[in-house]
Structure 1
Amino acid sequence: MIEYALLFGLGFLAAALIAMLVAPAVHRRIVLYTENRLKATMPLSPQEIRAQKDMARAVYAAENARTMQELLREREASVSLQISNGTLVKEASRLLGENQDLKAQIHDMSVEAADSRSKFRRTEIDATNLKEALRRTEESAVAKDLEITALVKRIERMLSDIDNLKIERTTRETEIENLKMRVQALRDEREELRRETRLVTKRAKDAEIRLAQEEHKVLRLDDRLAQAMAEGVDKEALLERRTREIARLKTGVKSANAQVRAAVKALRAANLPVPDFKEIAVAEQEEASPAPIAAAVTADLAEELRHRHTALTERLIKAKTGANDKALREEIADIAAKMIVLTAANEGEKSPIPELLRANSTRGAGKELTLAERVLAIEPSLAGPQVSQSPRPE
């Protein structure tokens, strides 16, 4: 590293030494060139300066004289050009006038030619119009002849049409008479239909009134059905409690008998006197009570009545005409009969319904089934042994 620095310093010093040696020669050369240039550009004496001024004045005077000569020549040329221009303007004015005269002549000749052409065309048009008028006249004459012929034929047709119209008028008068008679018949028929409509309307109103009454009956029967169902549920609960109590008592009696038997055995084993007593007889197997079966049948009947009542209510609401009044009455009567049967079953032996049914079970000949007969047809056991059973309606 130091070697490189020493070499660099040595080179720099050598270059500086060479520059110092060459610098005086270069300086002398520059001074020489500068002196020569100054000598060439600057005068060396006042005479030379005056000579240069005189030479400049002479050159300026010569240039000025030459310029004046050129200006004079240009002025003369301009004057000659102005003179020639005036001559040309006059010639152009003359030519322009002649041109305008020629144009006027050409225009006049064109107007005359146009007038001639227009006259010729008008003449041709007049000739054509005359030919066309002649042709139209001939055609109109032929057309009038044809029109006259057509009018004659038309008059003949009109005469025949008049005869036909007379015949048709007579026919129309006959048809009008027939239509009048038919209109009168239709009016009579309309009056008859109006009377029938009023009658049908009256019947419909009566049917609506009866339907409302039947609806009220159905509502009352529904209330009675709900009451009977509530009573049936209460009786079923009471019966179930009684059954549980009887079972409990039976169990107690059995346990007491077992204890008594054990005591008797103990006394006999001890050779002690046995007191005289009787065991409480308890049947091991009893006949099945019909109460649960009757309760199940009653519940099924109540459910059936509820469903039928709902369906009947929907039918009554949707009914718009009295076409199914008879079927609805039969349905209501059947529901009422089954309601009475359900009430009698819920009330049991204390119910007064069987006596009422036996008192009203007679049926007249040719009459519809009464409510009592419907009840007996559904449940013949309510009639008792005195009344014969009637067949159940389908």
Structure 2
Amino acid sequence: MIEPLLFFVLGLLVAALLWLLLLPAFWRRATRLTRQALEQSLPLTPNEIAAERDRLRARFAVEAALAARREEKARAEVLAARAETGECLRVEAEQRREDAVRVQLLAERETEREILQARLTALEAERDELQQAYALAQTTIAGLELQRDTLAARLHAAVDLSEERRLHLEERGCEAENLRAALADETRRSAELRLELQSKDIALRAAERAAESLENEAALARIKRGEMPGEDSTPARDGNLRAGRA
């Protein structure tokens, strides 16, 4: 396990040593090639140097003009971007306001929906209660109709019975009228008999008083004749009483 690692490290060290040995040769060749390229690219005469300078000036002027144009274009783009950004910000702010309004409207709609849902639940509960009440009312109505039919039958029977009783009462009324008339006749007759009895009683009392007066007169007459007052007074008085009652 350690030997492969040692061989690998040894190989790396050998490769590094070879690279260090070959590095100066590579460096010298790279330096020589770079110098040759620079010497070939640099002008060697004053005319070439002036031409190169003019070319560089023209190139710089063109690049400066292009840079100025690019700068102006960039400024215009920046201004346009700023304007667009401002417009975007304004649109975004307007959109945010609209979103806030929409959110508020959605909240209001949600609140209204909850209220309507609660009302719907209450209405459904009320509908169920009304259905139960309707079923109970139907049952009650059926029972009441049955009671009505029973009461109607009883009413017809009671009407028939009352009609019979009315006819019977009318008959009894006629009989009562007849009895009242008979009673009135009997009352009148009783009054007449009572009056007759009173008159006879008065006449009897008058006869008794007359008999007493006659008896008194007879007693006085006997006294005058010298008779005893007690003799024969009783038969005479009885005869007078019988005569007075007759």
TM-score past 0.5 threshold:
no
TM (norm. structure 1) is 0.28
TM (norm. structure 2) is 0.40
More helix by share: 2
